[in-house]
Amino acid sequence: MVSDTTFTPHGVVPPLVTPLDDHGDVDRRALERLLAFQLDAGVDGVFVGGSSGEIALLDTAQRRALVEVTAGTVAGAVPVLAGAVDTGTRRVVEHARQAAALGADAVVVTAPFYVAPHPAEVVTHFQHVHAAVDVPVVAYDIPSAVHTRLTPDVIAELAESKTIAALKDSSGDLAAFREVLRRTELPALTGSELLADTALALGAAGLVPGLGNVDPHGYVRLYRAARDGDLAAAKAEQDRLAALFRIVSVAGTTRIGHTAGALGAFKAALAWRGVIDNAATNAPLHPLADDERTTIGRILTIAGLGTVD
């Protein structure tokens, strides 16, 4: 198989959380409401099974339900990107084929992890995935999770050979991001919540912010202002969103880890806004405390966000 490299993601493509029911299964109705909320905001795509979607913790049934419901609900209105993230190539190929069969328009793939691969082995990994699926492959650089960088050299090689169709950059390294933009014509999207306006000014094709779960309208306004050259409006929106992003630091890290605190905050905020019913995360992540959820509600109110009709 040869994947389609004409795929050009752009705009706001939020990496969606995975709503769970009381049994730990994907809450299909809550996911449908989340998708409707995103589409109403005017997003340009949706990304399921990313870091915000707890991809490292999902079982096969959850992954299947996530892509199946998303593709069915979106029904072609915007592209559906699905994460295919695992320790090794064979597992990633398996996940990618499943996602494509369920209707994903592209798969999002990190470097393999646990095995500490050499850059040449990272390139081989992407080549195998590209050859195995008939949808585009988006490279996902998130060294904080996989502990391997997709360097500008690796990205340039993959782009030149058309092995990848786009880059989702969550490295936090704007210098490397700029180098990728200089050396390739690859659509590159930033995962930064706090420097979205800066990345767009550098030439980013779009935004993939986890906070976009909670306030997609804000990121759509930011993107459109930057696209239209209204830098003052983009900066003002970025400043407001930076204040809202404080929700990820509410949970006490003496009790739970950073990931549980951040993803729990996104889900608690969505529950507070009435988009999803349950703020639960997958094991082993622990839930936020009641007082932390109350604090998140106050931050949302200050940011001008209320419940969703």
Residue showing tokens 């992954």: 63
3-state secondary structure of 213: helix
Alpha carbon separation from 299 to 165, 209, 216, 281, 308 (Å, rounded): 37, 18, 16, 21, 16
What span, in angstroms and rounded, lies between the C-alpha atoms of 29 and 32?
A: 5
Is 162 designated active site?
A: no
What span, in angstroms and rounded, lies between the C-alpha atoms of 122 and 23?
A: 37
Is 223 designated active site?
A: no
What span, in angstroms and rounded, lies between the C-alpha atoms of 228 and 231?
A: 8
Catalytic pick from 114, 162, 168, 223? 168
DSSP 61: H
Catalytic pick from 140, 219, 223, 267? 140
Q: How many CB atoms lie within 10 A of CB 281?
A: 23
Residue 108 in contact with residue 81, Cβ under 8 Å?
Answer: yes
DSSP 284: T
Active site residues: 140, 168
